[in-house]
Structure 1
Amino acid sequence: MKTPNNAFYYSRCRYQPSPDEVAASCDVTFAMLADPESAMDVACGKHGAASGMGPGKGYVDVSTVDGDTSKLINGHIKATGASFLEAPVSGSKKPAEDGQLIFLAAGDKSLYNTVAPLLDIMGKSRFYLGDVGNGAAMKLVVNMIMGSMMATFSEGLLHSEKVGLDPNVLVEVVSQGAISAPMYSLKGPSMIESLYPTAFPLKHQQK
């Protein structure tokens, strides 16, 4: 029978039933949640990670949230004597699977230096941006640019088909020009085939 305990067996992970128990058993706790409400609940809610933290421990929040939420979580974590680092990522499902994320970190510099080797395993690059809130702000700006890019690219593909051009050739032309972007080459072929496997839910674009 599959249980939470044996589901992690082969990856040599240990299951804990609540965030505070996870935090109590770890020197550094990483959290990656979908939205501000979930991030706050896991960090600061009943049985939240903050309840299991104290001096000498660290909390790294990799969630994409707004700066105010990140600052609230920072306050709760620091009140326990622990250290806090926000580290939202640029990159979706495929880059995460390939260890090609970009970490946009801000907060406790000592904790950043401590977890840097772990970030290097999960990502291809990392940036330290100073005070808590700056990482969240950078991530939201990146998301804004990404959304604009993909909206324009979608219109371009559709218009090329309407005027009788081959959209595959459009992707190739774009990929070799000044407006080339990895996102276009990655998403273009599946968009042409009307295949849209979820990598980043649209509801998470607005934060």
Structure 2
Amino acid sequence: MNDLYMEEVSLSKYKQTKQFAWKRELLYILLIEKASPVMTLLVKSSYSHRFLSSSTPAMSVCSSFCPQLPSYFRQKPINSLPTKPLFPLSFKVFSSQATGVSAKADELPGRIGFLGMGIMGTPMAQNLLKAGCDVTVWNRTKSKCDPLISLGAKYQPSPDEVAASCDVTFAMLADPESAMDVACGKHGAASGMGPGKGYVDVSTVDGDTSKLINGHIKATGASFLEAPVSGSKKPAEDGQLIFLAAGDKSLYNTVAPLLDIMGKSRFYLGDVGNGAAMKLVVNMIMGSMMATFSEGLLLSEKVGLDPNVLVEVVSQGAISAPMYSLKGPSMIESLYPTAFPLKHQQKDLRLALGLAESVSQSTPIAAAANELYKVAKSHGLSDEDFSAVIEALKAKK
């Protein structure tokens, strides 16, 4: 491993056609010192997050992906490159958890339930079906289950019947109230649970709600795991979510192959409540970033700059984030195709502020962002993508 180095290079241009736009990609280039001229190139797209390998001479491949590759890559021989890794390698990045490699069929739990066929639950359940899993689905509006049924899913008319017929039941609900009702209410999943069964709540809720659900599930003799996800519609479709799990470790190990089908990585964080807290902190940061990015886009335009150029500049600097590159162009056109509803972002900010209050942590930036999302909701933007928060700033003109 001493001879293994990596360099991160950002594509500098967005090349648009009538049908698609190239997204900024990250090239992770493995350079093996004293190797033959043919080297291994790993390309990781910030859009798909999947790894590919190539046995093509590295420089020619790099040129095709990144014409503006730093000059020392083109002009200097391999043995003149730095001898200190630019960042440490993590074997987890190259594991099946990170790449979305499907688990073997004999490693999967038998019967899987999935409650909540919304913008996230539907693609997650679809990926389980595509991997050959035996999946039973439920949703308050049955018609939302039809696409899954057409792919081979079974259907049960209530959460308790799903839980009773399955070994492990997943739930992806919109908010703490829905999560509690589906798990613990009348005909809730807890009524169908028992020893040997597991309940995995992948909804974004506060820690107190997660602990209440845990108590109801464990009272039946079943096991509970919270595993909220980082990622929105596209990562869910691509099986590229990040799971933030906490709770029963044995259940975590049991469902790990399923998490690997639906996600690119997973973290086990210990006791119930830790996964919920981590997700709220992540979404608090994301919501604040989007609010500030919105201010920057509008300010650049107002002072006569091209906001598209701002997106490009930001994408190449230290504050680069895939969110800016993906959302920026559509925000400039006042288009907000929903990947993560604005109402859910505001809900997560509200819950994060409550978490901060519980430990007396000051969060003035997140508090200000929360007020902006509330203004956006008052303008009827609740079901738009959370990037529509920019409209709240336009309304202040």
- Same fold, TM-score > 0.5, yes or no: yes
Per the alignment, residue 5 of structure 1 pairs with none
Select the structure of larger CA radius of gyration: 2
- 1:126-148: per-residue Cα shift (whole Å, max 9, x none)? 10000000000000001100011
SS in 1 for 2:267: strand
- Residue 97 of structure 1 and its aligned partner are, at CA, apart by 1.1
CA distance in 2, matches of 1:197, 1:186: 11
CA distance in 1, matches of 2:301, 2:345: 27
Indicate the percent of aligned positions where both proteins have the same amino acid: 98
CA distance in 1, matches of 2:345, 2:294: 16
- Counterparts in 2 of 1:34-183, with a 5 A limit? 34-183=174-323
CA distance in 2, matches of 1:177, 1:112: 38
- Residue 197 of structure 1 and its aligned partner are, at CA, apart by 1.3
- Residue 171 of structure 1 and its aligned partner are, at CA, apart by 0.7
- Residue 202 of structure 1 and its aligned partner are, at CA, apart by 2.1
Q: Gaps (5+ residues) in structure 1?
A: 1-10
Moved more, 31-40 or 160-169: 160-169
Moved more, 26-35 or 190-199: 190-199
- 1:25-65: per-residue Cα shift (whole Å, max 9, x none)? 10000000000111001100011000101000000000000
CA distance in 1, matches of 2:311, 2:144: 43
Find the partner of 2:144 among 1, 12, 23: 12
Find the partner of 1:33 among 146, 170, 173: 173
More helix by share: 1
- Residue 99 of structure 1 and its aligned partner are, at CA, apart by 1.1
Task: Give the count of matched residue pairs.
Answer: 197
CA distance in 2, matches of 1:116, 1:167: 42
- Residue 198 of structure 1 and its aligned partner are, at CA, apart by 1.8
Q: Structure 1 81/70 Cα, relative in aligned 2: closer, same or farther at 3 Å?
A: same
TM-score, normalising length from structure 1? 0.92
SS in 2 for 1:46: coil
CA distance in 2, matches of 1:189, 1:99: 24
CA distance in 1, matches of 2:163, 2:222: 11
- 1:60-90: per-residue Cα shift (whole Å, max 9, x none)? 0000000000000000000000000000011
- Residue 158 of structure 1 and its aligned partner are, at CA, apart by 0.6
SS in 1 for 2:338: coil
CA distance in 1, matches of 2:144, 2:177: 30
- Residue 12 of structure 1 and its aligned partner are, at CA, apart by 15
- Residue 108 of structure 1 and its aligned partner are, at CA, apart by 0.3
Moved more, 13-22 or 57-66: 13-22
CA distance in 2, matches of 1:111, 1:155: 44
Please give the root-mean-square deviation of Cα atoms over the aligned residues, in Å: 2.7
CA distance in 2, matches of 1:183, 1:167: 15
TM-score, normalising length from structure 2? 0.48
User: Structure 1 residue runs of 4+, over 2 Å off?
Assistant: none
Q: Structure 1 12/95 Cα, relative in aligned 2: closer, same or farther at 3 Å?
A: closer
- 1:153-198: per-residue Cα shift (whole Å, max 9, x none)? 0011111111111111111111110000011011111111110112
CA distance in 2, matches of 1:12, 1:187: 27
Q: Gaps (5+ residues) in structure 2?
A: 1-142, 146-153, 347-396
CA distance in 2, matches of 1:83, 1:164: 58
- 1:1-34: per-residue Cα shift (whole Å, max 9, x none)? xxxxxxxxxx999100100000011000000000
